Structure 1
Amino acid sequence: MSRYVPADFYLLRSPALPAETFREFMSDPDHTSDALLRLADAPEVRRAIFVASEGLAEGLTQLERMSPKSVARVYSRLWRYVTRMSTRPTPFGAFSGVAAGTFSGRTTARLETPVISSTRVRADMAWILACIKRLEDDHEIWRSLRIVRNATVHVSGDRVVLPHADVYGNSDRTSVRVRATPAVHTVLNAAATPVTYPELVDALTAAFPEATGPQKENLLQRLWDLNFLTSDLRPPQTTAQPEQYLLDGLAGIPQAAEVAERLREVVELVRHADDPASLARLRVAQEKLVPGYTGQTYQLDSAIGLRSDELNRSVGEAAADAVDVLMRLSAATGATNAHLRRYREEFLERYGHGVRVPVLELLGPDQGLDAPESYTEPTRTAGRLDSATDLEDTSSYDRAVVEFAHQAWREGMLEAELTDAWLDRLAPAATVGPLLPAVDLYLQIEATDRQAVDRGEWRAVLRADCLAHGGRTFGRFFDLLGDRLADQLRDLARWEQKLQPHVAYAEVAYLPTYGRAGNVAAHPDLGTYEIPVNTSPSVPADRVLPLDDILVGADDRRFHLWSRRLDREIVVTQHHMLSPLAAPNVARFLLEASQDGYVLPGGFHWGPVSNATFLPRVTRGNVVLRPAEWRLDAHGLEDLAAWRERWRVPRYVHFVNLDNRLLLDLDHPRCVAELREEVGRAGGGTVLLHEMLPDFEHHWLTDDLGRRYTEEIVVPVMATRSETIARHPAGPPVEIPSRRYPPGSEWSYVKLYAAFERHDEIIAGPLRELIAELRAEDAVDRWFYIRYADPRPHLRIRVRSERPSVLGRLATWGRSLVDAGLAQDVTMDSYCPETMRYGGPGTFDSVELLFEANSDATARLIAARADLPQLTDEHLAVAAVDTLHRHWGVPLAERMDLLPGHQDDHATRDEFRKARAYLCELLLPWDRSTHEEGRAHRMGIAAALAPQEPAVRAASAAVREAAERGRLAVPPAHLLGSLAHMQINRLLPVDLAREERCYGLLRHTLRALRGRLAAEEAR
């Protein structure tokens, strides 16, 4: 049963021209150019081209005066535009449009003629911001505006920092700092909500009566010029007509009367703009208002007309099933933000578990960690983050997908069915992590007509980029599609909230660094809280969460965000398709941190065979998860016909470049020429071609005249149960500050960089000898070590002592190992205890003593490996973790449920089957049958680990007491899981995939032992 259900509505996307148009103007290669010119003269095509490129529209009237090269360029662009207008449903100006429909028991959806029923024009956001800049640059006007503090401003030491100074969408990545003087604080506090200029002057006068008028004016002007202060003229993202909002903001300002009058003309022209002539008048008026502006001045979206909007609900049900499968595959391919995982590790290293840090402080380079890697708004100034892990282990998926492809190649199949058996190979059910609450799925329906859909004679066709976060696809069109759609999107948001009643949802509102990208950020007000970053809020003040209200915490599994005011976890969302990569760092981080711990949406991916010349169509039931595809290089292009015959490439294919798709007829010289250009741009690489699905005979959507159209359906699907989306819960905010022990304090901490292959040698020899010497001199109170990689492998050795000389001893010892060739480098660092990860202040002292006992025991065990021949690393880890559980006091029957990790692949099961008797003996003797090698290894391991038992039992008692008193910061099972992880870490070089296998082997062994005990009790 699917873990998702479809919404009762969908979005229909369709181009303005029938699909057959493409074949008509391509039918005669000798007359394709003439056919294109005739099409370009049609009113709907002329308008679409004018909106997309006035330069091309002008060029079409000047062909006789152009050079042959220029003419060829015009025809190439015209061909691409008309091809798009007849074959690509993605919304773009007047080339294609959108409509909302409903699922029901039948399919009646049919297009009106003409297809584009209406358009909506609004001022381009880049032009709006340029107009605002003109206003705010005027000395007289800005002092008449309502003024507000930039939301990203925060204090760092003796400076007030503006991490992202751009407020006009000019891609300005400048960061600004000013001295945090009392006067600056007074101004910024007074401008926490919009105020007038006189009110700011009054605030300064009240705080500093001795200050002169020019001093106050100069301070305010400086903070304004540096963008610490801005106005409230920036339109909220829930505003359908930003030019009207801007005009309203100028009401009652005499200094802006002339601008307001011209803007009023723009507003009036926007209302009636539709054809090229009216659009040209609008552009002229906008350019007069903002002289020197050279970009696009307006933005147009189109609605398509439907005679009826019903679509058989079986399509929605298939969409829900497909999303379930794709999210399972995404979990197996490690679909997470790797840079965020590295950042989370650094967060825990610096701050520890349970500690909450203000988000602006965290992202700052002064007192925080700086931005995560790959963030560019502004760019991270610190170096690469330390990390024990870089990439998810996808080796199991990679092996399976290679076999899946090889089977199709071996049998010459154009289509490969993803059966249940193959799905289990690629993505075992146990690998599924928490699911996103809502997802949008993009699909096309392959059917001969509407009746075929109702008869079940259809297939859904997906692409590689077929998933998006739920509801985002619809946001930009909310004003175009009416109140009904907005209500449906609110229902979807309420469904999400119902699934997670313990969290508060908040929309992050921001202007992107590239102003024009703001056009796609429009969305309806869905009733959530809002976090404005560098734009005006669109909700009442009681629903605004300022950035300085937001705290960031983390555990081993995810980040979580917390609102001080609400005293609860918040999930930050956006209901539009603007890429967070273009967002200010704080907005991007809030979005990515809110997704941390979820499986991120993605389509079917071929992994290590993605660059193969041919890959088959992938199907599952009546869903095409990915079309067949080919990669063409310059060599194949030399004899395209032979290449097509060898690889069975059809006549019609899509050229695919990221999310851009262009239909090609490989029998047509023009398409071959276009393909040749693309191969040339690839610079020695390949270009990607996808088969055309559906083909021309399987476009089911028709208009009043019976002409067939390409379509795309966007189906929102929602998780059915809270359990499927549940992530590791965030605990309440912790007020205990994280302790830091810098070099020279009671804790000395060295990083000894050495190859993983030398770690055991160092631990068993020089490290044990060093600790023994320090203990003999009574110079060490406690100590422990862990293995790490940042990404260079090293040992982290921490020693507590009252003697300052111990730090020098550690440095000298490390240098001697470097000189001897055992290590590569040695460095000092500060020790930040992970107090909250291990239960809190009431338990950490006993846990730290356990660290020492486990370090001693594990070092002793590593040294004794020579006495345990044939003992593998994985089997040693299995025994060591089970010994920890036994010392902790966990009954054998309960241990399996407390293991971290979830891997249960074929390789792990096979390994257990081969070593079942040995592994069972390794953990528990059996009188009926003794495995001698397992018995010998069990006794040797037990002897080495026995000295740690008192410390383990003491820590276990401390944890139980803290839990009984309600003082335990993490669930006991999570704490024990962390200790198990540290046991394997001390025992084996860092390898998370191998650690997962160890847990899998232990899980199988415990299951077998439970079965054995149950059978014996039954006797």
Structure 2
Amino acid sequence: MTAWCRAARATAADRPAPAPAPTAESEHPHRPGVGFTPEPHTQEETGMERVYRTAGPVLLRAARARVEDAPEYWPDLAGDSPEELCSWVRHVWRDPIATAVGEASPSLAATVERVHTGEALSARKVRRAATALVGYLLRASGRSTPFGLFAGTAAGSFARGGTLRWGSSHHVESRTDTAWLEAAVAELEALPELVERLWVVVNNQCRWRGQRIELPAGEHRVELVSSAPVRTVVTAASTPTPATEVVAHLRSVFPAATSHHVLDLISGLLAHGFLLSSLRPSSTSADPLAHARDELSRCAAEEIPAASAVMDRLGAAASSPTGSRASAQADEGATAHGEIRLDCEVAVPQQLGAEVEAGVSTLLRLSPHPGGHPVWRQYYEAFVHRYGAGALVPLLELVDADMGLGYPPTYPGSLMPSRPQEPPPRESSLLQIAQEATATGAEEIVLDQEEIHRLAVAPLDPQRIPPHVEVGVWVSAPSMEAIEAGNFTVRIRPGRAVGTFTGRFTPATSEMAETYRCLPTVVEGAVAAQLVFPALRPSAGNLARTPRFLDQVICLGEYPPEGAEVLALQDLAVMADRHQLHLVHTPTHRIVEPQVLHALSLDHQAPPLARFLAHLTRGCLTSFTRVDWGAATALPFLPRLRHGHTVLSPKRWRLQTNDLPPRSADHKEWRSALQRWRTIWRVPAHVELAQGDQVLPLHLDEPAHTDLLRTRLHAAGHVFLTETDHPDGLGWIEGHAHELAVPLATTTPRAESPLERPVVHTRDSERGQPPAAPRTEWLYAKIYAHPQRHTEILTEYLPELLEETGTPAWWFVRYRAPDDPDHLRLRLRVDTPDQAAKAATSLGRWSERLRRDGLSPRLCLDTYYPETGRYGDGALLEAAEAVFTADSTAVLHQLEGPAPEARVEVAATMGHIAAALTGEFEAGMRWLIDHPGKRPSSALPRELHDETSARIEPAHALLPGELHDALTRYRHLLTTMAGPPLDGVISSLLHMHHNRALGIDRDSERTCRHLARQAALSRIARNEAAP
């Protein structure tokens, strides 16, 4: 065994008896959490700071039934006769399971009732009913996720001492089914006589596209020819407006149109989602059915005969007792679903909260993406490249693929290809762990601080720590007293943010709701705004319905909720700072951080813009996920990873269809093969079948359970099995499968708002200088060439082009990007379209010569987008461009003539640039000292330091007069006008000077910055030591 672990070997027992706490030298028991005490887990002993603290109460999510309430025996789904299966169904069909299944699947309940009455059914139908019932029974006692009448929630807390009261008077709350209500509202909106009495508003997801208006619909779009009447309606209903006013306005514009024709048009726009009516409740509505009925009452819908049938159904649904609405037949659809508020009071010991804090902090350190998700890092880089840092870009223009960047890779309609990701260095370490565990029989790897540091992709950056997270916590302990004594383990399931697991079950006036309102934000002073939107699939809307917890709301694709401060999409803009992207409310000049307070899958069930807004603020923060095993995920077995009391990753097995006989095999043959596979990989009988976030407890010695496994395996191609808690580990909660949803807030200080500095407003529809356009001042050319040819092109070929064009101003940069190969970017000053045309002709002839000489295969003319966010706008931009020109000229002269060691020359020039921009030489040296860059990869010879120190002295005056004057003028404007921060400008200009002189080489640039700083330190030290 290596230093990776103190590992637990497999034992033959599937259910070991509790054992005494082991010593540090002994092997740990086979199962965590029952009968042993891991090493103490404190900050002092681990040397690791906890970056999160629990924030407020907790929410218990638990199965209503106990694990021991499972049936006394299970059927053999493949081997039993229909009569035997019917006998088993009748045996288990009793309350509360009968009521719970009746609500979840009315069709299954109807079939079982037919079995009860002795009605003759086909063997296939009996077997299908028995199979479905097995699944529901497993779910009833073994899964904690709230669902119907199977599992529910209860408020909980952390306390000095743990207490639990589990009663039997559970309360069932009825919620109107979103899909059913959606269908009813759609029927009513098809009635022109009713529409005339409603209020309407244009769907804010609509976009004009040439002569069409389009609306996103999942991965597709709905398009409509934007005729004059359609444009008039959309304009008139830009804010919530009575339909009668829209009709009157349209008829005033088009006198020949009748009210009937106009109402038909409005109904059609409602049917296709281009308009939204006041009849549709917001997803923050506490009682959507009551909202719809109140709106119908307000507009006297009872006077409309055609609406009576739907109104009767709404009234019947409202008057039905809680829990009885699910008796509807499957083809009619249930009008509501029940949710259980458990008759339970729970307070868990504070020791458990401290362990959760430590475990969450450890999981964050093991993040596969400490610098942000790769998709969002790519998007951030594309944003900065196109607009620069500090530029405010209108949100709706940014995500427009025609005018802006569009959406990030993997989004519907995105034109941005995903970059291939190289595996991080820790991949080999994780593979080593997995292989050693397989070879030695180790089932558990205990990680200490050294090993966590070794597995971390990079140290945590305080600027990138998510401000708050939420986790689901499984607790394994024989009793509450055992938790207080430290005899427990926990497993942690990461959630997206606070509210993910708790929001849907939290009343608006609860203590948890107050926690939501007090959560920290990414930047100081940011506004937290609740993001509300409809799910792409109406049935999924049940998961997205939460109260309105926050004062500010970003409403997307919904009729605006009453009483909320709605932030209009057209008032939102996106900007970048040095670390990430931010959303800005331009009227108030404040950062806005959208919050999604429910568990709806953003990647699959949210409109693209909602998904974008939800991820925008956190995309460049450290990803908070489960342990990512990387390539090792494909291995058949992965050991448990534990740190202190926290199981960071449970034991896991990967089962594929080709591991076992094919679908056509006899069930006895298949079960025998499964048993052999279990023996090879030491798979216990009790496991969980994990598919995404859904788990199902299985006992692999039970034929019924293996039949379910076989069905799921052949449907998916492969499945994952994970270890599950021993029933003794549920003793503290009286045998109930459970999960504690715990909100946590970061302890790290919040970042300063980037709006403390001046920003530049920009629009793609207005910015940019296309080649030869009337207002174009710079002709922008890209000369593609191998980087080793760049200097040759600049020194031996560029002077000829400049002489021919007679260009008074020009500048260049060297450029490379993953999606754009190496090239020189050349800007030539042109004052008129005629000058641009002549310069373009000269560029073409010059490019042909480069091609003949084998230096460059390609020339492109492109639109020049000034980096106004980085360098400023107006006079500031003109001054910055003068600096670019002067620096390019100076570098060209350096490249053309003999020079000392290139890095020394660049480092010394960096010092003089910093001095010119700070106004005094000593101030420039102080700036270099106060802004250290990353150190170079290797130590530098002493001679380089000595040469740099000599060259950086003021007497050498390395800057040509033109460059010094340009920098001085730019500094003056930066200090007298509202513009970008000086620190950022200096860093950018130093970076670009290295780019022009030595090319794209990060380590070379770090070397030059390091040499310049060391020379500055020497200079300051000499001055301070002088008498």
TM value normalised by structure 2: 0.81
Distance 1:243 1:12, change over 3 A: same
Question: In structure 1, what is the equivalent of residue 150 of structure 2?
Answer: 95
Judged with a 3 Å threshold, the aligned counterparts in structure 2 of structure 1 residues 409 and 1014 are, in CA distance, closer, same or farther, namely: farther
State the one-letter code of the partner of 1:669.
P
Alpha carbons of structure 1 residues 398 and 736: separation in structure 2 relative to 1, 3 Å? same
Change (3 A) 1:456 1:837: same
Residue from 58, 69, 75 that aligns with 1:10: 58
**Contact 1:415/1:619 (<8 A) preserved:** yes
2:478 alignment counterpart? 448
Specify whether residues 736 and 488 from structure 1 end up closer, same or farther in structure 2 by C-alpha distance, changes over 3 A only. closer
Matches of 2:190 and 2:804 in 1, distance apart? Answer: 72
- 2:912, 2:924 within 8 Å by CA — same for their partners in 1? no
In the TM superposition, residue 768 of structure 1 has moved relative to its aligned partner by 3.3
1:849/1:22 CA distance change after superposition, 3 Å: farther
Aligned twin of 1:651:
685
Shift of 1:96: 1.2
1:690 to 2:722 alignment = yes
Residue 141 of structure 2 aligns to a residue in which SS?
Answer: helix
Percent identical pairs in the alignment equals 27
Contact 1:239 1:522 in 2 (8 A): yes
**Cα gap change, 1:86/1:572 in structure 2, threshold over 3 Å: closer, same or farther?**
same
Q: Distance in 2 between matches of 1:373 and 1:661?
A: 30
Gaps of 5+ in 2: 1-48, 662-672
CA contact (8 A) 1:837 1:975 kept: yes
Structure 1 match to 2:301: 253
Partners of 2:909 and 2:632 lie apart in 1 by: 39
Please give the residue correspondences for 1:182-197 in structure 2 after superposition, counting only pairs within 5 Å: 187-197=233-243
Aligned to 1:716, the other structure's residue is in SS state strand
For 1:202-217, list aligned pairs within 5 A. 202-204=248-250
Distance change in 2, residues 1:399/1:365 (3 Å):
same
| Cα distance change, pair 147–467 in 1 and its aligned pair in 2 (3 A) | closer
After the TM superposition, which residues 32-431 of structure 1 pair with which residues of structure 2 at under 5 Å, given as runs? 37=89, 40-61=92-113, 65-113=120-168, 117-153=170-206, 161-164=213-216, 173-179=221-227, 187-204=233-250, 227-251=273-297, 252-256=300-304, 259=307, 263=311, 266-270=314-318, 272-274=320-322, 278-281=324-327, 283=328, 297-306=335-344, 308-330=345-367, 333-334=369-370, 336-376=372-412, 379-380=413-414, 383-384=415-416, 390=419, 395-398=424-427, 401-402=430-431, 405=434, 412-427=441-456, 428-431=458-461
Q: Which stretch has the larger CA shift, 569-578 or 844-853? A: 844-853
Higher helix share: 1
Structure 1 unaligned regions, length at least 5: 288-292, 926-934
Deviation at 1:830, TM superposition (A): 0.6
SS at match of 2:442: coil
Task: Kindly state the Cα deviation for residue 565 of structure 1 after the two structures are TM-superposed.
Answer: 3.4
> How far apart in 1 are the matches of 2:306 and 2:382?
54
After TM superposition, the structure 1 stretch with the greater mean CA deviation from structure 2, 731-740 or 248-257, is: 731-740
Query: Contact 2:161 / 2:484 at 8 angstroms: preserved in 1?
Result: yes
SS class of match (1:230): strand
Matched-pair contact (CA < 8 Å) for 1:446–1:459: yes
Structure 2 Cα separation of the partners of residues 191 and 62 of structure 1:
53
Counterpart position of 1:507: 530
TM-superposed CA distance for 1:109, in Å, is 2.0
Return the offset for 1:594. 3.0
Deviates more, 1:84-93 or 1:502-511: 502-511
Q: Secondary structure at the match of 2:101?
A: helix
Match of 2:4 in 1: none
Alpha-carbon shift at residue 682 of structure 1 (Å): 4.6
Deviations 1:123-142 (A, max 9, x none): 21112111111111112111
Asked if the contact 2:811–2:885 (Cα under 8 Å) also holds between the matched residues in 1, the reply is yes
Tell whether the 8 Å contact from 1:91 to 1:301 is kept in structure 2 after alignment: yes
C-alpha RMSD of matched pairs (Å):
4.2
Q: Report if the CA contact (8 A) 1:106-1:310 is conserved.
A: yes
CA deviations over 1:684-719 (Å, ceiling 9, x no partner): xx4322222x2222113444xxxx111111100112
**1:742 alignment partner in structure 2:** 770
Q: Determine the C-alpha separation between the residues in 1 that align with 2:613 and 2:395.
A: 9
2:782 partner letter: K
Amino acid at match of 1:833: P
Q: Residue 700 of structure 1: SS of its match in structure 2? A: helix
CA distance in structure 1 between the partners assigned to 2:997 and 2:771 by the alignment = 27
How far the C-alpha of 1:356 sits from its partner, in A, is 2.9
Q: Per-residue displacement from partner, 1:631-680 (whole Å, max 9, x unpaired)?
A: 23345446544543443333322222221222232333344444344443
Residue 611 of structure 1: aligned partner: 634
- The alpha carbon displacement at 1:520 in A equals 1.2
What letter corresponds to residue 439 of structure 1 in structure 2? V
Deviations 1:563-615 (A, max 9, x none): 23333222222212223333333322222223344323212212232223322
> For this pair of structures, how many residues does the alignment match?
940
Quote the Cα distance in structure 2 between the aligned partners of 1:75 and 1:713. 32
Contact 2:911 2:952 in 1 (8 A): no
Alignment-mate amino acid for residue 547 of structure 1? L
Match of residue 975 from structure 2: 964
Aligned to 2:513: 489
Task: Tell me, yes or no, if the aligned pair for 1:98 and 1:302 is still in contact at 8 Å.
Answer: yes
Deviation at 1:837, TM superposition (A): 0.8
State the distance in 2 between where 1:84 and 1:806 align: 74
Please say if residues 900 and 999 of structure 1, whose CA atoms lie closer than 8 Å, have aligned partners that are also in contact: yes
Checking the alignment, whether the CA contact within 8 Å between 2:816 and 2:822 is kept in structure 1 is: yes
2:499 aligned with 1:471: yes
Distance change >3 Å, CA 791–CA 144, structure 1 → 2: same
In the alignment, structure 1 residue 830 sits paired with structure 2 residue 857: no
Question: Which position in structure 2 is the counterpart of 1:791?
Answer: 819
Residue 689 of structure 2 contacts residue 721 of structure 2 at CA under 8 Å; is this kept in 1? Answer: yes
Amino acid at match of 1:229: L
| 3-state DSSP of counterpart to 1:833 | coil
Aligned-residue offset at 1:834: 0.5
Take 2:854 and 2:71, find their aligned partners in 1: how far apart are those partners?
71
The aligned residue for residue 995 of structure 1 is 1002
Which stretch of the first structure deviates more once superposed, 89-98 or 950-959? 950-959
* Cα distance in 1 for residues equivalent to 2:757 and 2:1023: 43
Q: Is the 8 A contact 2:106 2:326 kept in 1?
A: no
| Alpha-carbon spacing, 1:775–1:223, altered in 2? closer, same or farther (3 Å) | same
DSSP 3-state at the match of 1:979: helix
**For 2:745 and 2:290, how far apart are their aligned partners in 1?**
36
Distance 1:716 1:399 in 2: 34
The answer to whether the 8 Å contact 2:395/2:573 transfers is yes
Aligned equivalents of 1:634, 1:154: Cα separation in 2: 46
* Aligned partners of 2:771 and 2:862 also within 8 Å: yes
Q: Tell me how far apart the structure 2 counterparts of residues 982 and 410 of structure 1 sit (CA, whole Å).
A: 53
- The structure-2 alpha-carbon separation of the partners of 1:844 and 1:90, relative to structure 1 and needing over 3 Å to count, comes to same
Normalising by structure 1, we get a TM-score of 0.82
The residue identity in structure 1 corresponding to 2:626 is G
- The 8 Å contact of residues 76 and 704 in structure 2, kept in 1 or not, is answered as no
Deviations 1:355-403 (A, max 9, x none): 4333233333454444443333xx34xx336x9xx46776344455456
CA distance in 1, matches of 2:523, 2:280: 33
Q: Distance in 1 between matches of 2:855 and 2:87?
A: 76
CA distance in structure 2 between the partners assigned to 1:72 and 1:863 by the alignment: 86
Instruction: Kindly provide the CA deviation profile for residues 221-265 of structure 1, in whole angstroms up to 9, marking residues without a partner as x.
Output: 665566443311111222232112111110123444664675455
Distance in 2 (CA, whole Å) between partners of 1:975 and 1:786 is 19
Q: 1:120 to 1:1000 in 2, by over 3 A?
A: farther
Which secondary structure state, in structure 2, belongs to the residue aligned with residue 523 of structure 1? coil
